[in-house]
Amino acid sequence: MFPKSDRFWNPLLETLPREKIRELQVKKFRRIMKWAFEHSKFHHQLYKDAGMEPGDVKTLEDIARVPKVEKSMMRGIQKKDPYPYGDMLCVPLEDVTEFRQTSGTTGQPVYQPDTWQDWEWWAEAWAYILYSQGYRKSDRVFIPFGYNIFVAFWAGHYGAEKLGCEVVPGGVLNTEARLLKMQELRATATMATPTYILGMADIARKKLGIDPATDLNIQKITCAGEPGASIPSTKKRMEEAWGAKVYDHIGATEIGAWSYECEEQPGGLHVNEGLFLVQIEDVETGEIIEEPNKRGKMVITAFDRLAQPCIRFDSKDIIMWHEQECPCGRTFRMIKGGVVGRADDITKVKGVLLAPTAIEEAVRGVPELGDEYEVTVTKRGDTDDISLKVELQTEAENLKEKVLAKLNDQLRLKTNLRYNISFHPYGSLPRYDVKAKRFKDLRKDH
């Protein structure tokens, strides 16, 4: 039995009772571990060294004992034979049909091979995302992004096609041309980073005299690449600017598209537990966290990705389980507020733990400020110093003192820290098309 509803891509999986999901996950984990053990020299050695074989895995507790894979290990084996992937590759090199690489934000990029079947799987994972966000065959999806060696939006494109949407690739056009094409074609949905969604709206209003909320037909926006769509103040800005629903999704090149916010916008994202196993580990003790509202590091497995498997990958993403079930009817668990930070991103400033997303939430919560900001942490003698550059909206130039007081209040509330705040002319801070770099820690020991 499953619910009669057209809101699910696959009600058989998405509404499966919890105990059945757990059984399925153990079965699928054992299968992918066996595949890697038999086809990848790297995994074979990893599990041998730990004294484990796939047959040893009978419960979720057993899975927690399987060795983790870190990005540094992947970097270590790449550029070796079979070139350029190294011996994590589980298929003959000639079966690889897709090359992608990570953006290299945290170091040397990691190369990711996929077979055609893996690519079908990427599109399948995106079909779950887009269907849950209301995309249907009647949608015309405009993708304002120049596809390249990064996986970003390639899979969104194929996922939308799989649903039967009409997809418009807006790659080499500039922002103005993209906006005009969206308007001309009456596109109903789009996908981009939160930074670019806000940037496009700004350019539409200021350079083209177009109000995206009233002059365009965009009804749904799917964000990726940055946490903005799960940060309430940023989400609100985007929704107001475009007059559209804004949804978050989380994925990564070496993992897949593992999580999605559904139409209910419940303050969290569903983990696609039919395709992935997410475990949250206490950063200090390594204990698995099952209770809600307790932050930990995500360790993730993709059950069905074969060329270069993702098994117990230590993502460094900080997440926490949501305490609620979603009214949408999906039984997949939710994480609260998306990825709330990264284990190597959350830093101590003046002895206080600081997640850069909290600064974004404070800045974007002040309507008189522009979307852009820049944070720099330095050391003055023994003391940490944080400077924050913000832009005042042109029409708020006479309200500097009032805005400063409001921003200070927000920052104290959200981060418990004091900042040296400076105001800059609107439009003077850097603009980003893809992943923004707004947080700089210049202390020598970081």
Partner 1 sequence: MDNILDIKELGKMIDEIETAANGLIEKAQGIQAIERNAERILASTTMLKINVSDLID
Q: Which run of H or of E encompasses 443?
A: none
Angle between helices 232-242 and 356-364 (to 10 degrees): 40
Measuring CA to CA, which residue among 43, 214, 222, 62 is closest to residue 126? 222
Query: Does 441 help bind partner 1 (rule: CB under 8 A)?
Result: no
Applying CB under 8 A, the span of 23-31, 67-75, 84-92, 247-255 interacting with partner 1 comes to 23-31
Query: Does 2 help bind partner 1 (rule: CB under 8 A)?
Result: yes
Per CB under 8 A, which of residues 100..139 are in contact with partner 1? 115-117, 119-121, 124
Selected from 304, 361, 372, 391, the binder of partner 1 by CB under 8 A is: 304
Strand partners, 312: none
Applying CB under 8 A, the span of 13-21, 98-106, 194-202, 282-290 interacting with partner 1 comes to 13-21
CB of 28 to partner 1, least distance (A): 7
Nearest CB to partner 1, comparing residues 2 and 99: 2
Tell me which residue has tokens 């540094």.
72
Query: Does 24 help bind partner 1 (rule: CB under 8 A)?
Result: yes
CB of 32 to partner 1, least distance (A): 12
Q: What angle do CA 43, 47, 51 make, to 5 degrees?
A: 165
Beta-carbon count within 10 A of 5 CB: 11
Applying CB under 8 A, the span of 21-29, 192-200, 312-320, 382-390 interacting with partner 1 comes to 21-29
Applying CB under 8 A, the span of 20-28, 69-77, 80-88, 352-360 interacting with partner 1 comes to 20-28
- CA dist., res. 387 & res. 291, Å (int): 36
Selected from 27, 136, 400, 418, the binder of partner 1 by CB under 8 A is: 27
Query: Does 18 help bind partner 1 (rule: CB under 8 A)?
Result: no
x-or-dash pattern for partner 1, window 248-287, by CB under 8 A? --------------------------xx------------
CB of 9 to partner 1, least distance (A): 9
- CA dist., res. 337 & res. 248, Å (int): 10
| Residue 85 identity | Y
Radius of gyration of the chain (CA): 22
Nearest CB to partner 1, comparing residues 2 and 83: 2
Instruction: With beta carbons less than 8 A apart as the criterion, state whether 193 and 225 touch.
Output: yes
What is the torsion angle, in degrees rounded to the nearest 10, for the CA atoms of residue 401, residue 403, residue 405 and residue 411? -150
Nearest CB to partner 1, comparing residues 57 and 354: 57
Query: Does 429 help bind partner 1 (rule: CB under 8 A)?
Result: no
CB of 130 to partner 1, least distance (A): 15
CB of 286 to partner 1, least distance (A): 30
Query: Does 4 help bind partner 1 (rule: CB under 8 A)?
Result: yes
CB of 117 to partner 1, least distance (A): 4
Selected from 1, 291, 327, 398, the binder of partner 1 by CB under 8 A is: 1
Instruction: With beta carbons less than 8 A apart as the criterion, state whether 248 and 261 touch.
Output: yes
CB of 63 to partner 1, least distance (A): 17
CB of 384 to partner 1, least distance (A): 49
CB of 51 to partner 1, least distance (A): 29
Residues 6+ apart with CB under 8 A from 328: 7, 132, 262, 263, 264, 266
Task: Classify residue 21 by its DSSP letter.
Answer: H
In this structure, the chain runs to a length of: 446
Query: Does 328 help bind partner 1 (rule: CB under 8 A)?
Result: no
Task: Classify residue 288 by its DSSP letter.
Answer: B
CB of 155 to partner 1, least distance (A): 14
**Upstream peptide bond of 309 is cis (omega within 30 degrees of 0):** no
CB of 303 to partner 1, least distance (A): 8
Beta-carbon count within 10 A of 283 CB: 14
Nearest CB to partner 1, comparing residues 124 and 391: 124
Query: Does 404 help bind partner 1 (rule: CB under 8 A)?
Result: no
Query: Does 13 help bind partner 1 (rule: CB under 8 A)?
Result: yes
Query: Does 12 help bind partner 1 (rule: CB under 8 A)?
Result: yes
What is the secondary structure of 300-341 as a DSSP string? EEESS--SS---SEEEEEEE-B-SS--TT---S-EEETS--E
- Residue 37 is encoded by which pair of tokens? 């053990």
By rule CB under 8 A, what count of residues binds partner 1? 24
What is the secondary structure of 128-175 as a DSSP string? HHHHHTT--TT-EEEE-S---SS-TTHHHHHHHHHHT-EEEE--SS-H
- CA dist., res. 153 & res. 175, Å (int): 17
Query: Does 5 help bind partner 1 (rule: CB under 8 A)?
Result: yes
Residue ranges binding partner 1 (CB under 8 A): 1-6, 10, 12-13, 16, 20, 24, 27-28, 115-117, 119-121, 124, 274-275, 304
